[in-house]
Structures are given as C-alpha cells and as structure tokens.
Chains A and B, each alone.
Chain A
Amino acid sequence: MAKVSMTVNGKKVSADVEDRTLLVHYLREAQGLTGTHVGCDTSQCGACVVHVNGKAVKSCTMLAAQAGGATVTTIEGLANGADLHPVQAAFREHHGLQCGFCTPGMIMAAVDMIERHGANLDEATIRHELEGNICRCTGYHNIVKAIKAAADQMASMRTAAE
C-alpha cells in the first residue's frame, strides 16, 4: 500500500492503494470516476482511455503509481461546466454512440487525435487512428463522422479565434 497523489480533472486527489492498482481502478474506485471503463484485459479495447499529462493512454495498462504526480483528465473532466466539449457534442449530433460503454474512451481518443492532427483528419486517417478503440455497436460509421465533424468545427473555431 502507498499513498498515490495526482491531479484529476483539475483537482488534487490522493488515496492509499495497493501498488498493483491500475490507474483505471484508482480512478473508478478510489475517486469514484466511473466514466472510464474496463472492456478487456489485454489492453486492446480502449474503453479506459484517459489523458495523462495531455496525452491519451490506456489507464488499464498503467499503474496508478506510475501516474503519481501527473495531471489526468477523464471523460468527466472534458466538458467545461455545462458546455460540452465539441467532440462530446459531435458524438451526440452524429449518433456516434449506442450502448455508451466504449464512448468515454472513444471520445478521449478522438480529442487526442484531433489535437495531434488538427483539421487534416480524413476518413482513412481517423479509421487508422482508432486502431486502439473497439466498438461493437456502431460499426464505427457514425463515430468516424462525428470525429471528422468535430475536427472541422474545432479548426474553424481556432481560425475564428485568430
């Protein structure tokens, strides 16, 4: 057992956990942030994706202790109060989710993808970039549409802001 502290969604948190505790369990159980999900045990489905120090990682493939001192953003911390993040809004607008279980990981992966590629995201790139996220409901069609729409919208927001 050890005390593990980090900043989660802008808040400093800490908890005493076993050293073997994965980041995803630290978030779900110690912090009650159950939006991050566990969909497999071989680090492939991506339902657990969160951002650690600004980068998308699989929180099921990282010990909580490894993230000690880091800044973590989960799906719960993505919206700005009542204002949805453009990617969240696009997933709803384009019906990019059905059962909702893979959705938090998909959205966190999409935000990271858009941050890295900007408006240069085409369908083939989006599909390739989703290699680490599995969805069984949507057939990806509307997820791809949602990410493309969000990328375009975020790019135009940036242009407008400049």
Chain B
Amino acid sequence: MGVQGIGARALRKEDKRFITGKGRYTDDMTAARMTFAAFVRSPHAHARITGIDASAALEMPGVEAVLTGEQLVGDGVGNLICGWMIHSRDGTPMKMGAWRALEPEIVRYAGQAVAVVIAETQGQARDAAEAVVVSYEELPVIVDPAAALQPGAPQLHPEAPGNLIYDWVIGDEAATNAAFAKAAHVTRLDITNNRLVPNPMEPRAALADYDAAEEHFTLHTTSQNPHVARLVLSAFYNIAPEHKLRVIAPDVGGGFGSKIYIYPEEMVCLWASKRVGRPVKWVSDRTEAFLTDAHGRDHRSEAELALDANHKIIGFRVNTIANIGAYMSLFSSSVPTYLYATLLSGQYDIPAIFCNVKAVYTNTTPVDAYRGAGRPEATYLVERMMETAAREVGLDPAEFRRRNFIRAFPHQTPVIMCYDAGDYDATLDAALKAVDYAGFPARKAEAARRGKLRGIGLSCYIEACGIAPSAAVGSLGAGVGLWESAEVRVNPVGTIEVLTGSHSHGQGHETTFAQLISDRFGVDTDSVSIVHGDTDKVQFGMGTYGSRSGAVGMSAIVKALDKVEAKAKKIAAHLMEAAEGDIVFEGGQLKVAGTDKALPFFQVALAAYTAHNLPAGMEPGLKEGAFYDPSNFTFPAGTYVCEVEIDPETGKTQIINFVAADDFGKIINPMIVEGQVHGGLTQGIGQALLENTAYDEGGQLITGSFMDYAMPRADDVPSYTLMTTETICPGNPLGMKGCGEAGAIGSPPAVINAITDALGIREMAMPATPERVWKAIQDSRRAMAAE
C-alpha cells in the first residue's frame, strides 16, 4: 500500500481480521475459572416484589451464587444515573426516579432484572435462573405516554408526580404566537415518531474479572465509550476507583447509540465477580436485547407552521410528548430537548419558533439516543410539515423549500443553534437532477398504466454533529465535557501509533485516522496503527457517538500532529543547521526550503530518541498529546429524494429510487462515508416502512424478536444513488462535518412524503406497513365513493 492521504478511497486496514473470522469480540474472550451470569427478569411491566426464593436454584448443578438487589444495595453499589440535567419551564430540576441494577422493590418494565445466577456454564445459569421463584404483586400498567400524563394514570416513581419528568420549553412563545396571529395560512399535523429497537448485530456482552490481590477489576465489554463507562462505574456506581478498573471495548459489532450507556448487566458482572471471586461472563441473547437495550425515538407531537401570503414561513409551534420509558437512561434527558428542538429550524429561515417538550415515564424499556438521537425526530417533523404545507398552498414542494432556505451564514436560529456554513440549494439541485424530478409525472403516468401508484418525496435535512463544545453543553446541563483526546507516538524508526479516545465499532477509524497521518507525514498507512478502546492504553477520552469521531476525534489528532511536527522541525533545523522557520514537511521529508537539504522523517524520529544531538534543553522522544474541544457544533445537511411505487392490491411499498445528496464538509475516505450513508439510509427506511415496536396494554413487548420486529433485509431496500457537495466547516482544522447519522436522520420523511404523494393523502403513520398503506387506499376509495 502506498501513501493514502485525505480523500483516498483507501481499503480498510481492519477488514482482514473480520473477513477471516479473526475479529475479537467480547463474547470471543474467555478467562480461566470463568463463570456465566444469567439474569432473572420480571415478567411483569409493573409489580411489587414480595419475595425471592433462590433455594431451589442454589441446589442446581453448577450454581455458584444467586444474587439479588438487596445484596447489591447492601454492598453500596450506586444507582444508575442520567448524565444531563434538564430544568422545567418553572425552573425546577427534572424528576428522576431511582434505578437500581437489580431491583429489590418495584419493577417498572417487563424484562427488568431482579436477580442474577452465577454458574459454571451458560446453560446451567439459565436453567437455574428459571428456578428462582420471585413473587410479585402486580400493579397497574401504563404504556401510552399521553395517557400517562392524565390524572388518575398509574404512577411509576414517587419522585415524579403525574409521571412527568420535565416540562421544558425553548424559543420565544410570545413572538411565535404573534406570528400565528398574522399568518395567511397555517398547516397543522399530529406526528408520531415511532419507537425503534437499535439491534446492532452483536448483542451486548461483558466479561468481568476481579483480582483480589490487586483489588483491581478488568471489564471487557461492548462499549462505544470505555472511558465514560469507567468514569461512571467508578464515580457513581462505586465499583472501584478509576485506577483500579480497566475497561476494554475490543471489536464491537455495531452500536448506533445503544452501546453508549452503562447498563445494569455489565455493572452486575463486575460486582458479582468480586462476590464470587471468579471471572463472570454475560452475553445477551437477542430477546434480552429487545427487552433491555435502550430503545430510540418515541415522540408524539402536534405541530403548526405559519406562512405569510408569499409562502414564507413566519412561525413554527410544536408540542411534543417524549416517552422516556421506565427509567432515565444515561443521556435520555438530552435527546428530546437539546438534540431535538434545537434543530426545528431545519434548513429554513424561520423567525419565530416555540417548542414545549414533556418527558414522561411509562412502563416500557428505557429510551435513549439511537442513530441520530433527537435530530431524526426534528427532521421528520420539519420535513413532513414542509411537504404538507407546500401541497396545501399548491406550491411545488421543492420550490416551497427553496423559498424558505437560509442563504446567509453564519445564521442564528431562534433555537440556540448558529449554523456556520452550508449551501442548501446545491444539495437540492444535485438531488433533483439525479432523480430526474422533471420527469416524474411521466413516470407516474407509466406506473399507473401498470396499476401501480407512484410517488415522490423530498427531505432537506440538517443536523448538528461534532458533539460538542464543552462549555456550551455544560451550560445546558451536560454532566460531562464533550471534547476528545489524542496522543501521537512516533516510534524511534518512524512508525506511528495514534491513541484516540474515539472508538470504532464499524466506522473504520483504523483506516481513516491512519489516512490523516499518512497525508500529514507522508508515511505509508501500514506503518501507522490506531489504538483505541482500552482505558489502560489510551488517555481519558469521550468515545464515539453523535457523528463526532471525525470532527472532534480527528481534530484532537491534528492538534497532537501539530505538536509533533513542530518538534520534528526543531530537531531537523538543528541537525541541518538551518533556521526552524525554513523547514518544510513534504513527502515524508523535512526539507530546508529552497535547498536540496532534506532528512527523512524516520531519521528525525531516530534522532529524537537517540538524543545524541538535540537542540539545547530539548527533551528526548517524539510523542505528543492533545485535547480538542470544539468551538461549535457542525452542521451536515443535504437533500434526499425517494421515489416509491405502491402495489394497491397488497399495500406493499417498493422503493424505486433513492437519491442522497449530502454536504459533509471535507471527506477523508469517500468509500467509508458512502458506507455510512448506505447504512443510515437503510435504518431510516426501516423506521419508515418496517420497524414497529409494539407493547400490549399490559406492558408486554409484542415485537420482541426478529419474528415480529421487521429488520430491513437486502430485498427491502434498493441500491442507492449518492453524491456529495462540499462547504468546508470553518469550526475545525480539517473542515469536516460528520456523516454517521445523516442517512437515518434524513430518510424517513422522504419515504413518507413519497407514500403520501403516491396515495394523494395527508397522513401516514410510520412504519408504513403494507397493511397500513392498504387500509389508507381502502379509506380514500370509500371517501371518494361517498362524494
């Protein structure tokens, strides 16, 4: 492999181990004397525990221990935390109920863990878990978030009267109301954003090992952010001080947000390992994943858009109920507030916005960030409203959007965000051209001749990535800073190790980060290794989520590279007896500008380590670290166009064409970026067409396996048409914006707008299952017949 710099479609360095079966995931790890954990879970969605009888289980073969919540609390293990404080409109802090890793008193969702069995084999642990007899007194159950707010609804937590966690507002209510008072047209829509189950293909897993002599824990786990896990396990759950706890996230099989959080099971494995004095392994099965991995989305909103006589938007008013589930997961409070309502301006110049969000407890699995986290909810709302308003006033939906685009930057929205750069016309133009927007009526007519209903839908999304400026998020309630760290170690012979706080679980950092080094120092990517995911190896870092590893993680590397380069130049200047200012770094060499004097980079590195001849006072070695705190969010944006054909007999929607035009700023590896978009689009199309998370009234998850939860498969989606435009992000040294979530954020409204266009109707709930579409067709036929 040669030099593979920024912009190269470099093949992935990490692939070889995965395609030969040599990946090392948590479940692939073993330890001597290892035991297995199996959790005893509540079959009820809301019940008081009246007794736990483990006597029969303890007699079963291979059983080492049965541990309960009482013992956990007794050992001083702390409650699970929510790391972002939100204040209600009346100034009161959010109302958070206690969440224990093993619940001793009242279970609040079906699947909640109440005890754990530790046994010699996984089979024995599961057999014994079934033999633990837990007595329950069932309590009334509430699963509907709107109903949960009604007087008389069953109450989950004494800390949160009326099940209301917070009643939060953003924007100028008076100005927004005033805009509506003078509006020429108002579009109103009730919009539900359906609950989703993340389902990375690797289920969660943990292998915890306590070393009694050193009083030291090692945890291998499926984490997107091992340092955050260590911090929370230490500081809040009291498992061990940070220096006595090593968290390793080896190869991780996808995350999509669901592996950010520190869940009860991983924590219990650590605690149990100390209790039984042996390593404890737990591997979630898919059923447990459905029940306990944090779900995503689940918003119900009423939205109103006010237009003036020229079809310019003058106001946007939104009331949202966000279902948080039974407990507040780690970042659950921030998702329906600062990650959501701050994006309600979309790509549009909207002078007045007001949004109220009520976060509600229900007897369902906790809800937290899932690919996009708040931004898909905002985009769906905005883009459904744009399409609907355009149709109501009789404007072409593309033209209506154009009339309202923001064109001057920086642009301060009424909802905190200040957009730094963008060109929304460019992505819209590119997408419309690629889809042949003008030719659509002819295609629709041709489809009609075949008995098919064809529709086209747009979505002009914007999102906020590069999470996030620490002081800004701190002022909004975040419990942590959201900077990133990096360390660049140049070895004596010039190979380079980069230690990053980012974590790769499919994103290809081992390749893209190496490309950055290659680009900068002219070294082969094969001589660069990226080290991540181990708190003993890597300095404290914040991990990977929110499309931040490029814009924030790589920026930290750039800062460290700057320092390495500065030192290397000093050494080179000294060795070549030149002025430091005359040294340039080109093609892997440090050269004296305007002369033929040059030193290869590896010789400078060697000189740094031999230290025989360094500038006076200089420390030996060539290793630099950096922390990068972004100055602003980044704002990827684009236009997605979806063209569908519906079979009116079955209601089946087929995506005929899907065009995505994205502006991600600077792109390091187009191949990897395209892969991120493909995956995001498919998750978004899954949300729009397939993925339905349904609870019955008793709080049982009735879509709790792949038999009932429709995951997108290869024949559900098309091959995609992708393109990018570029406006450079001024906020970070590489000009990057982030690409990991865009597909999932932008695609659902494009699909639903296409379906409503095909059917000539206003509303269609997600997922637009064949039955829902078929029913809508029957209903509109009946309505037409009645006219």
A and B touch in the complex (CB under 8 A): yes
* Chain A residues with a Cβ under 8 A of chain B: 18, 20, 28, 33-42, 44-45, 47, 74-76, 78-79, 84, 88-89, 91-93, 95, 97-104, 107, 123-124, 126-128, 130-131, 133-145
| Interface contact B202-A99, CB-CB below 8 Å | yes
- Taking the closest CB of chain B, its distance from the CB of A74, in whole angstroms, is 7
Chain B's closest residue to A29 (CB) is B30
User: Judging by beta carbons under 8 Å apart, are A142 and B713 in contact?
Assistant: no
Tell me if B442 is interfacial: C-beta within 8 Å of chain A. no
Q: Say yes or no: B253 contacts A100, CB within 8 Å.
A: yes
Contacts of A124 in B (CB 8 A): 715
Please state if A130 and B713 are interface contacts (CB–CB under 8 Å). Answer: yes
Residues from chain A with a CB closer than 8 A to the CB of B776 are: none
Q: How far is the CA of A29 from the CA of B12 in the complex (A)?
A: 29
Cα A96 to Cα B17 with chains together (Å) = 14
User: Which residues of B sit under 8 angstroms from A79, Cβ to Cβ?
Assistant: 20
Report yes or no: A100 in contact with B18, Cβ–Cβ below 8 A. Answer: yes
CB-CB under 8 A for A39 and B286, given A88-B19, A98-B507: yes
Interface residues of B in 239-256 (CB under 8 A from A): 251-254, 256
Given contacts A99-B254, A140-B714, contact A34 B18 (CB under 8 A): no
Give the chain B neighbours of A128 by CB distance below 8 A: 714-715
- B37-45, B374-382, B467-475, B671-679: which lies at the A interface? B671-679
A97–B201 CB distance below 8 A: no
Contacts of B711 in A (CB 8 A): 134, 136
> Is A99 a contact of B286 with CB atoms below 8 Å?
no
Contact partner, B678, options A28, A35, A78, A138, Cβ 8 Å: A138
B256 closest partner in A (C-beta): A136
A78–B18 CA distance with the chains assembled, in angstroms: 13
**Among B601-609, B680-688, B724-732, which stretch is in contact with chain A?**
B680-688
**Whole-angstrom distance between the alpha carbons of A1 and B671 in the complex?**
49
B477 within 8 A of A: no
- Cross-chain contact B719 with A137 (CB below 8 angstroms): no
> Which A residue's beta carbon lies closest to that of B255?
A99
Q: A99-B506, A136-B256 are in contact. Are A127 and B714 (CB under 8 A)?
A: yes
Interface status of B11 (Cβ within 8 A of chain A): yes
Write out, one digit per residue, whether chain B residues 6-38 have a CB within 8 A of any chain A CB (1) or not (0). 000001101111111111110110000000000
- B671 contacts A95, C-beta separation under 8 Å: yes
Chain B neighbourhood of A140, CB < 8 A: 678, 682, 712-714, 717
Q: With both chains docked as a complex, state the minimum distance between the C-beta of B775 and any C-beta of chain A, in angstroms.
A: 26
Q: Which of B695-717 contact A (CB under 8 A)?
A: 705-707, 711-715, 717
Q: Is B203 an interface residue (CB 8 A)?
A: yes
Which residues in B have their C-beta under 8 angstroms from that of A138?
Answer: 675, 678-679, 682
Can you list, as one digit per residue, whether each of B547-572 has a CB less than 8 Å from chain A (1) or not (0)?
00000000000000000000000000
Name the interface residues of B710-752: CB closer than 8 Å to any CB of A.
711-715, 717, 719-720, 743
Residues in A whose Cβ lies below 8 Å from that of B18: 97, 100, 103-104
Enumerate chain A residues within 8 angstroms of B251, measured Cβ to Cβ.
99-100
* Interface range on chain B (Cβ under 8 Å from partner): 35 or more
A91 to B507, CA, bound (A): 16
In the complex, whether B200 has a CB less than 8 A from a CB of chain A is: yes
Q: Which of A28, A39, A84, A133 has the most CB of B within 10 A?
A: A39
> How distant is the Cα of A133 from the Cα of B285 in the complex, in angstroms?
17
B682 contacts across to A, CB distance below 8 A: 138-140
Nearest-CB residue, chain A, relative to B23: A100
18 extra interface residue pairs, beta carbon distance < 8 Å, beyond A40-B705, A41-B287, A95-B11 = A20-B123, A34-B28, A37-B25, A37-B27, A37-B201, A38-B27, A74-B21, A95-B12, A95-B674, A98-B679, A99-B254, A100-B253, A101-B25, A103-B18, A134-B711, A136-B254, A139-B680, A139-B682
| CA of A99 to CA of B717, assembled, Å | 20
Residues in B whose Cβ lies below 8 Å from that of A38: 27, 203, 283, 285
Q: How far is the CB of A100 from chain B (nearest CB, A)?
A: 3
Least CB separation from B720: chain A residue: A141
Contacts of A18 in B (CB 8 A): 123
Contact call B720/A88, Cβ cutoff below 8 A: no
B679 A47 Cβ-Cβ under 8 A: no
Could you list some 20 contacts between A and B, CB below 8 A?
Answer: A41-B705, A42-B705, A45-B286, A76-B20, A78-B20, A92-B15, A95-B672, A95-B674, A100-B18, A100-B23, A101-B25, A104-B21, A127-B714, A130-B715, A131-B714, A131-B715, A133-B714, A138-B678, A141-B719, A145-B719
> Do A98 and B287 touch (CB < 8 A)?
no
Chain B residues positioned under 8 Å from A44 (CB to CB): 706-707
Which residue in A88, A101, A127 is a CB contact (below 8 Å) of B253?
A101
The 4 A-B residue pairs with the shortest CB-CB distance, nearest first, are A35-B21, A101-B253, A100-B18, A99-B506
Expressed in whole angstroms, the Cα–Cα distance for A135 and B16 within the complex equals: 18
A83 to chain B, nearest CB (A): 11
B202 to chain A: closest residue by CB: A101
Residues in A whose Cβ lies below 8 Å from that of B14: 100
Out of B11, B201, B286, B671, name the residue touching A101 (CB < 8 Å): B201
CB distance from B677 to the nearest CB of A (A): 8
Q: How far is the CB of B244 from chain A (nearest CB, A)?
A: 29
Contacts of B199 in A (CB 8 A): 136
Q: Give the residue of B20, B683, B715 whose beta carbon is less than 8 angstroms from that of A75.
A: B20
Decide if B278 is an interface residue (CB 8 Å cutoff).
Answer: no
B508 at the interface (CB under 8 A from A): yes
Report yes or no: B678 in contact with A136, Cβ–Cβ below 8 A. no
For residue B312, CB closer than 8 A to chain A, the reply is: no
Chain A residues, CB < 8 A from B286 = 39-42, 45
Contact of B714 (CB < 8 Å), options: A20, A76, A143: A143
* Residues of the B chain whose Cβ atoms lie less than 8 Å from the Cβ of A37: 25, 27, 201-202, 253
Q: Please measure, in the bound complex, the distance between the C-alpha atom of A33 and the C-alpha atom of B256, giving whole angstroms.
A: 27
Given contacts A76-B21, A97-B15, A136-B711, contact A45 B719 (CB under 8 A): no
Interface centre among A33, A99, A107, A124 (most CB of B within 10 A): A99
B-chain residues with CB within 8 Å of residue A42 when the two chains form the complex: 286, 705-707
Partner of A100, one of B506, B672, B674, B714: B506
Check: B358 CB closer than 8 A to any chain A CB: no
Q: Which residues of A contact B707 (CB under 8 A)?
A: 42, 44
Interchain CA distance A104-B15 in the complex, whole Å: 11
Report Cα–Cα, A146/B472, bound state, in Å.
44
Inter-chain contact A47/B719, CB cutoff 8 Å: no
Q: Which residue of A lies closest to B722 (CB)?
A: A141
Confirm or deny: B454 has a beta carbon within 8 angstroms of a beta carbon on chain A: no
- Whether B623 is near chain A, meaning CB under 8 Å from some CB there, is no
Q: How far is the CB of A16 from chain B (nearest CB, A)?
A: 13
Give the distance in Å from the alpha carbon of A141 to the alpha carbon of B15 in the complex. Answer: 17
Which of A84, A88, A102, A143 is in CB contact (< 8 Å) with B201?
A102
B714-A126 in contact (CB<8A):
yes
> In the complex where A99-B252, A101-B25, A137-B679 touch, is A88 in contact with B12 (Cβ < 8 A)?
no
Q: What separation, in Å, do the CA atoms of A25 and B380 have in the docked complex?
A: 43
Distance in Å: Cβ of B266 to nearest Cβ of chain A? 18
Query: What residues of B have a CB within 8 angstroms of the CB of A36 in the complex?
Result: 21
- A37 vs B286: C-alpha distance in the bound complex, in angstroms? 12
By a CB distance below 8 angstroms, the chain B residues around A101 are: 23, 25, 200-202, 253-254
Q: How far is the CA of A145 from the CA of B722 in the complex (A)?
A: 15
Q: Which residue of A lies closest to B676 (CB)?
A: A98
Complex CA distance for A103 and B201, rounded to whole angstroms: 10
Q: Which residues of A contact B677 (CB under 8 A)?
A: 139
Give the distance in Å from the alpha carbon of A137 to the alpha carbon of B506 in the complex. 7
Contact B715 A127 (CB under 8 A): yes
- Contact at B719–A144, with CB atoms within 8 Å? yes
Residues in A with CB closer than 8 Å to B713 are: 130-131, 133-134, 140
Contact of B720 with A139 in the complex, beta carbons under 8 Å: yes
A104 / chain B contacts, CB cutoff of 8 Å: 18, 21
In angstroms, how far is the closest chain B Cβ from the Cβ of A37? Answer: 7
Q: Smallest distance from the beta carbon of B416 to chain A beta carbons, Å?
A: 32
Contact present for A92 and B11 (CB under 8 Å): yes
Known contacts A136-B254, A136-B256; A84 and B675 CB within 8 A of each other: no
Q: Which chain A residue shows the least CB distance to B21?
A: A35
Q: Is B505 located at the chain interface by the 8 A CB criterion?
A: yes
- Shortest distance from the beta carbon of A45 to any chain B beta carbon, whole Å: 6
Bound complex: CA of A127 vs CA of B675, how far in Å?
Answer: 17
